[in-house]
Structure 1
């Protein structure tokens, strides 16, 4: 049972708007036993929008709930086990349109999901694709959108893109002294060069006063990854 896939899906068109922040801001959310990961001495949070498609739980399709948008805010951590370093992410919050999806994630795995109205747009013309994710909070629609090359390219080793996308573990803060770890499997993603972007997010309403200052900040970078099929293992290790 422990080696079974809990979830399988296709994650598609992942937009990542990346903001440099002080590590102190993230300390209250840091699970026991992991440490904040840095890229060139800097700490980042990412506002993320992407599509879930063909979602299955224990290889069973979910009627009417298999395709939806997810919006999340995450930061980057690592866990050292001997000579092995596991690079992962911690989610401040994850938002999806279906209450039952949020309930399952919160009940089974102690995640921080909420349900909000969401929608998306995809357009493609003259070698450029336009992708937009929207979510509604406090009676206002927020959005993150990019214009990006339709042509994909490989991530360069050691690049900021690699740091943002190449994390294969998720960590959850169960309590002050207990954390859980899960593994996400997918191939190394191809990326699409972003030509233009728009971010309109009520960071205070979505993620709390600690992140409200991001409303007036320009992201350090905005990336788009093509995505791929993914699997999330049922087994979660507590430590």
Structure 2
């Protein structure tokens, strides 16, 4: 077993999923990877969460251990293995974005970001905001702090949160994959989510239609320790 490239604790994971026509996502699919399609529809998710205690090859970098991320991703398969591909990923650390894009060709971008969480009288709230295009984009989550459960494998919550593989293309156009290892995440229920953001500003004009789309599914997961392993060429 190779040594993990990155370890961290991922917490406060919000996943808001929408249905989209497959032709919207097909241009973003790496070669040899099959787009996930069900009943003629594919899926894209806005995902925001916290990185805590981040370490690269076991080494904690001062100033780079704790930060949020906001990304847009979709769902694929490769030889029966389920995974995700990222349309775009934001972090508030310039070096993290530079390394991810320059070395691994991951679609990371730097942007100022803030986060806040509060647990009070059994209620948990989480807020994440990003500054982009001269505007502040944000979401807020409210839930009961003790109302958690681990979804069964035949549920949409399991389908959209549990993926072992990430896929992408390197600078030469070769398809690569990397493994993400963590225990199954418990999710909060019920969840109230408020989105105040512009998909077009954040991810490009072709995604602006999501501003008016109704989410198919919403998940807010507790998270856990995570290990990300070095990528390999398929």
TM-score by length of structure 1 reads: 0.93
Equivalent position SS for 1:101: helix
- Give the CA deviation at 1:39: 4.9
Contact kept in structure 1, 2:93 and 2:110, CA below 8 Å? yes
Gaps of 5+ in 2: none
Gaps of 5+ in 1: none
Aligned to 1:121: 116
Contact kept in structure 2, 1:169 and 1:182, CA below 8 Å? yes
In structure 2, C-alpha distance between the alignment counterparts of 1:177 and 1:8, rounded to whole Å: 27
Aligned to 1:216: 212
In structure 2, C-alpha distance between the alignment counterparts of 1:197 and 1:229, rounded to whole Å: 24
Aligned to 2:36: 37
Instruction: Select the structure that is richer in strand.
Output: 1
Number of matched pairs: 233
Equivalence map 1:120-139=2 (5 Å): 120-139=115-134
- Give the CA deviation at 1:158: 1.0
Contact kept in structure 1, 2:22 and 2:37, CA below 8 Å? no
* Structure 2 residue 140 is matched with structure 1 residue 145: yes
- Give the CA deviation at 1:210: 1.3
Contact kept in structure 1, 2:118 and 2:125, CA below 8 Å? yes
Equivalent position SS for 2:219: strand
Aligned to 1:22: 21
TM-score by length of structure 2 reads: 0.95
Cα root mean square deviation, aligned: 1.6
Equivalent position SS for 1:5: coil
